[in-house]
């Protein structure tokens, strides 16, 4: 069994006049949310043995703040393919993960991460968590997917089980829609 945890980057600063989207930093709300989500991951005893992430500035800053709240730092494997990737590209990234890693944290962007969840987790019956992800996968949110495989290369559509979906607003309503 493999466990894939997805972390969407925290809220970025659209007021920062950067030349490239890739270089956009977090805003204060994003920093607060990333810290809170790191503390949440620690409180839930989430463990990661591998980190793969987009090298975009907002992802780097999210991880720095997330790990400050988590209380432990994991060295990232930066993968440019994750930056604004589609779900099929992200599935390729997952399939390339080392089999020695059982609990992977992937940090990246939407809409790709949301599409990845919807591709991996089957739409069957009443699945309120999947429905919530399909409605919106907000910034700094964490999704945990259990995958019944022993090798990452076997990951494919509709094989995962959505174990949890946590948004910053679930932990602090002030981080919900409309807040700055």
Task: Read off the pLDDT of residues 116-139 as tens digits, 9 standing for 90 and up.
Answer: 999 999 998 778 899 999 999 999
**pLDDT reported for residue 16:** 64
Average pLDDT of span 150-173: 96
Average pLDDT of span 94-118: 98
**pLDDT reported for residue 170:** 95
Token pair listed for 140: 């700094």
**pLDDT reported for residue 178:** 65
Q: What is the pTM of this model?
A: 0.95
Q: What is the mean pLDDT of the chain?
A: 94
Average pLDDT of span 39-55: 98
Please list, in sequence order, all residues whose beta carbon lies within 8 angstroms of the beta carbon of residue 8, skipping any fewer than 6 positions away. 107, 108, 109, 110, 113, 137, 138, 139, 140, 141
**pLDDT reported for residue 179:** 57
Tell me how long the chain is. 180
Domains of the chain: 2-144 (3.40.50.1240)
The C-alpha atoms of residue 180 and residue 166 are separated, in whole angstroms, by 19
Q: Which residue carries 């463990």 as its tokens?
A: 47
pLDDT in tens, 5-36: 999 999 998 676 676 889 999 999 999 999 99
Residue 59 has pLDDT above 90, yes or no: yes
Residue 180 has pLDDT above 70, yes or no: no
Residue 155 has pLDDT above 60, yes or no: yes
Average pLDDT of span 142-157: 97
């Amino acid at each position: 069994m493999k466990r894939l945890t997805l972390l969407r980057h925290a809220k970025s600063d659209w007021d920062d006049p950067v030349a490239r989207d890739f270089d956009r930093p977090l805003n204060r709300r994003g920093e607060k949310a990333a810290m809170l989500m790191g503390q949440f991951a620690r409180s839930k005893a989430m463990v990661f043995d591998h980190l793969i992430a987009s090298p975009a500035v907002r992802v780097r800053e999210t991880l720095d703040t997330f790990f400050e709240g988590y209380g432990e730092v994991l060295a990232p494997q930066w993968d440019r393919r994750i930056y604004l990737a589609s779900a099929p590209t992200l599935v390729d990234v997952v399939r390339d993960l080392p089999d020695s890693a059982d609990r992977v944290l992937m940090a990246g962007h939407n809409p790709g991460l949301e599409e990845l969840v919807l591709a991996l987790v089957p739409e069957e019956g009443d699945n309120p968590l999947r429905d919530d992800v399909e409605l919106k996968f907000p910034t700094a949110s964490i999704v945990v997917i259990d995958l019944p495989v022993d090798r990452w290369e076997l990951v494919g559509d509709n094989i995962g089980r959505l174990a949890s979906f946590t948004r910053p607003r679930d932990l602090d309503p002030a981080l919900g829609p409309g807040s700055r």
